[in-house]
Chains A and B, each alone.
Chain A
């Protein structure tokens, strides 16, 4: 169990190799952003909408990765926090006429606060026990949403007015929302990277790898575990708010237990202790069920399960968790070989 969560950062082959990998990584990241920005102009509106959902799921999975991958706390309840974000946005837009983009900060705030509150009792539970506690959140969400129907619209849900893209950009609604999601995703990734590659992130990983040793080193484990919960649910709630804006409708049926499980699957398939894995996870959540349905009407979930097995068997640390260290190693090895060749020649 512990091994599976081992951070790819532990793969370091000397400073020059790491620097080389870093350069390549930046080139890769910039190329990806350029492609992401150009993509909507070459695709139909429907495919743009699908990719928008991929990015939204990626933000949610990123939140889960922070908690489960980096801090070792398993959550089966993130669909519930996704719903909290969605309903925050929906209620603010529908009842108070708040513009859609202004609903993201309150969704983040409420997501964070609820996560911290939820993180407090979670301190007492570990591993499968925590999974069960969070499962309660996922199970209760649809029914609670129906119960508070004066706020949530009950079974009927809430229909939201479609956001209008700013005039003058010449973008239609789908492409505009794509860019909104892209910007939020980039901010989310940058924020996650800052947190995880710094002091806080090291504390998260230390607690995951060995809580007693972490405490002995002076890390306030209770504080960091709660913080990990709060940050994680903040990301997921923002994703939920974005999803409500893009879909234009919220109702209890949209936030079943299956959504929470989907997030965990996406997280594991992408690479649970990686940031890039969240994007792969987003693709998996959005496309694999549809692909499975296209392959077999009769047993789409059998195909889905098969795809999951295949991924986990061939890439046990997820797509990014397995491939990225190999790429780093490959680049480093070539760099070392080149340097070796140069030094050999100079030596002669």
Chain B
């Protein structure tokens, strides 16, 4: 009996060994698209290093710094990353030119984390026509999650719509009888929030949303809009605005004696440029949502994740401020790409890399808030769908409650 079992074990091991060998044999014949080889993987990127949006270039620097560390550690499956990041000055015609150069001259495997909504819209058609991955687009617009029409384009961060659905989730769970008012910027950015709120509230949207008001970026104030929203009798206010108008709205709401539950979008949560200018007593209690760890929050500073981050910042990314959220963003997107490339193994064809990027399952990253993970599928090109709510206490933001999923489109 024992001998038989022993024999069968040997058999199992032998078969397993053969299978492994066979698989190893398959792996030996690595497959490549242009941009990948036994020794390197070429990654293309566009970034506004000059021009009005050059503040975002901290992301580009952080990406390069992260890949430098990966290369120092031996690369990915033995291959070094050749990260080619070019300036497009946030000008879409320039982006088209630069991306064509990356694809046709530099022969990159993919375009990764190109920054900005208009620049990415300008290159989406070209990249999809030529079946080149446009991975983890650096923009929060809703339209990067459209795998049926654009199977080669994938976003990364929670979209504006996702964020708005998370506000809606909170309202449904905690304030089921609320009357919601929305103040939004009259463009696609603002409208993404209105649509997100409608889809998040579902069939109750018609009843719960009692008023919406829009403003133009050329308006001097939003006073009349805020007054009109108050007159609607709403007790929840969602403000989808850029920083300046968020400050104006918070102040006006307080000054006319309106005390709704207030949400502001994550674009406009800077303590220094939005909350403090509005005034501590006026902005206290305002809520928003977030998904990354704030590096200046003392809560994280004793954790190993933070210490790794700090060591990397000091050694590889010294020109960027340690408290800069853009560095966290660059660090985390680079880690997502590294995870995808690792999982792609020796099959570095564009097709396979895109397939792996669309099959991520509960990937957690050190600088994302605990509980927030990255998941994708062939019909789900929105890697991060969860956020956590945070409340401003007059001094700083404090996250509270559970991680909330703003699922669906």
Q: Check if B126 sits within 8 Å of A46, measured CB to CB.
A: no
Q: Check if A247 sits within 8 Å of B117, measured CB to CB.
A: no
Q: Check if B49 sits within 8 Å of A53, measured CB to CB.
A: no
Q: What A residues does B125 contact at CB under 8 A?
A: 159, 162, 248-249
Q: What B residues does A127 contact at CB under 8 A?
A: none
The reply to whether the CB of B96 lies closer than 8 angstroms to some CB of chain A is yes
B 76-97 binary contact with A (CB < 8 Å = 1; else 0):
0000000000110111111011
Q: What A residues does B119 contact at CB under 8 A?
A: 253
Closest chain B residue to A45 by CB distance?
A: B104
Given A157-B121, A157-B122, A253-B118, residue A46 in contact with residue B93 (CB < 8 A): no
B 84-128 binary contact with A (CB < 8 Å = 1; else 0):
001101111110110011001100000000001111011011100
A 142-155 binary contact with B (CB < 8 Å = 1; else 0):
01001101000011
Q: What B residues does A247 contact at CB under 8 A?
A: 92-93, 96, 122
Of A64-72, A293-301, A324-332, the segment with at least 4 beta carbons within 8 Å of chain B is A293-301
- In residues 48-89 of chain A, which contact B (Cβ within 8 Å)? 49-50, 53
Q: How far is the CB of A91 from chain B (nearest CB, A)?
A: 16
Given A155-B188, A251-B92, residue A46 in contact with residue B121 (CB < 8 A): no
Q: How far is the CB of B61 from chain A (nearest CB, A)?
A: 11
Q: Check if B118 sits within 8 Å of A143, measured CB to CB.
A: no
A 243-258 binary contact with B (CB < 8 Å = 1; else 0):
1000111111110101
Q: Check if B96 sits within 8 Å of A44, measured CB to CB.
A: no
Size class of the contact patch on chain B:
20 to 34
Given A247-B93, A300-B50, residue A155 in contact with residue B118 (CB < 8 A): yes
Q: Check if A253 sits within 8 Å of B90, measured CB to CB.
A: yes
Q: How far is the CB of B198 from chain A (nearest CB, A)?
A: 20
Q: How far is the CB of A239 from chain B (nearest CB, A)?
A: 12
The reply to whether the CB of B379 lies closer than 8 angstroms to some CB of chain A is no
Q: What B residues does A53 contact at CB under 8 A?
A: 97
CA A256 to CA B218, docked complex, whole Å? 17
Q: Check if A251 sits within 8 Å of B105, measured CB to CB.
A: no
Q: How far is the CB of B200 from chain A (nearest CB, A)?
A: 22
CA A159 to CA B146, docked complex, whole Å? 16
CA A48 to CA B52, docked complex, whole Å? 29
Given A44-B104, A155-B117, A251-B118, residue A297 in contact with residue B188 (CB < 8 A): no
Closest chain A residue to B88 by CB distance?
A: A253
The reply to whether the CB of A194 lies closer than 8 angstroms to some CB of chain B is no
- In residues 281-331 of chain A, which contact B (Cβ within 8 Å)? 293, 297, 300-301
Given A247-B122, A248-B126, residue A155 in contact with residue B104 (CB < 8 A): no
CA A212 to CA B294, docked complex, whole Å? 68
A-side interface residues, number (CB < 8 Å): 31
The reply to whether the CB of A156 lies closer than 8 angstroms to some CB of chain B is yes
The reply to whether the CB of B279 lies closer than 8 angstroms to some CB of chain A is no
CA A301 to CA B50, docked complex, whole Å? 9
The reply to whether the CB of B216 lies closer than 8 angstroms to some CB of chain A is yes
Q: What A residues does B187 contact at CB under 8 A?
A: 146, 149, 154-155
Q: How far is the CB of B129 from chain A (nearest CB, A)?
A: 8
Q: What A residues does B189 contact at CB under 8 A?
A: 155
Which of A155, A159, A254 has a CB less than 8 Å from the CB of B93? A254
Q: What B residues does A44 contact at CB under 8 A?
A: 104-105
Q: Check if A46 sits within 8 Å of B122, measured CB to CB.
A: no
Q: What B residues does A301 contact at CB under 8 A?
A: 50
Q: What B residues does A155 contact at CB under 8 A?
A: 117-118, 187-189
Q: Check if A46 sits within 8 Å of B50, measured CB to CB.
A: no
Q: Check if B91 sits within 8 Å of A46, measured CB to CB.
A: no
Q: What A residues does B89 contact at CB under 8 A?
A: 258
Which of A156, A162, A254, A297 has a CB less than 8 Å from the CB of B91? A254
Q: What A residues does B17 contact at CB under 8 A?
A: none
Classify the secondary structure of B's interface with A.
Answer: helix
Which of B51, B91, B96 has a CB less than 8 Å from the CB of A248? B96
- In residues 173-204 of chain A, which contact B (Cβ within 8 Å)? none
Which of B93, B104, B121 has a CB less than 8 Å from the CB of A243? B93
CA A253 to CA B101, docked complex, whole Å? 20
Q: Check if A156 sits within 8 Å of B100, measured CB to CB.
A: no
Q: How far is the CB of B248 from chain A (nearest CB, A)?
A: 19
Closest chain A residue to B122 by CB distance?
A: A249
CA A291 to CA B52, docked complex, whole Å? 21
Q: What B residues does A147 contact at CB under 8 A?
A: 216, 218
CA A155 to CA B191, docked complex, whole Å? 12
CA A193 to CA B380, docked complex, whole Å? 58
Closest chain A residue to B86 by CB distance?
A: A293
CA A253 to CA B115, docked complex, whole Å? 13
Closest chain A residue to B185 by CB distance?
A: A155
CA A147 to CA B187, docked complex, whole Å? 9
Q: Check if A157 sits within 8 Å of B118, measured CB to CB.
A: yes
Q: What A residues does B100 contact at CB under 8 A?
A: 46, 49
CA A45 to CA B50, docked complex, whole Å? 27
B 300-315 binary contact with A (CB < 8 Å = 1; else 0):
0000000000000000
Q: Check if B101 sits within 8 Å of A46, measured CB to CB.
A: yes
Q: What A residues does B52 contact at CB under 8 A?
A: 256
Closest chain A residue to B129 by CB distance?
A: A162
The winner among B101, B118, B188 for most chain A CB atoms within 10 A is: B118
Closest chain B residue to A249 by CB distance?
A: B122
CA A155 to CA B124, docked complex, whole Å? 16
Closest chain B residue to A146 by CB distance?
A: B187
Q: Check if B50 sits within 8 Å of A156, measured CB to CB.
A: no
CA A249 to CA B105, docked complex, whole Å? 22
Which of B51, B104, B118 has a CB less than 8 Å from the CB of A46? B104
Q: Check if B121 sits within 8 Å of A50, measured CB to CB.
A: no
CA A250 to CA B122, docked complex, whole Å? 8
Q: How far is the CB of A49 from chain B (nearest CB, A)?
A: 6
Which of A45, A154, A250 has a CB less than 8 Å from the CB of B188? A154
Closest 4 CB pairs of A and B: A46-B104, A249-B122, A251-B118, A254-B93
25 contacts between A and B (CB under 8 A): A44-B105, A45-B104, A46-B101, A146-B217, A147-B218, A154-B188, A155-B118, A155-B189, A156-B118, A157-B92, A248-B96, A248-B122, A248-B126, A249-B93, A249-B96, A249-B125, A251-B121, A253-B118, A253-B119, A254-B92, A254-B94, A256-B91, A293-B86, A293-B87, A297-B49
Binding site for A on B (CB under 8 A): 49-52, 86-87, 89-94, 96-97, 100-101, 104-105, 116-119, 121-122, 124-126, 129, 187-189, 216-218
In addition to A46-B101, A249-B92, A251-B121, 17 A-B residue pairs with Cβ atoms within 8 Å of each other are A49-B97, A49-B100, A50-B97, A146-B217, A147-B216, A149-B187, A156-B117, A159-B122, A162-B129, A248-B96, A248-B122, A249-B96, A249-B121, A252-B118, A253-B118, A256-B52, A301-B50
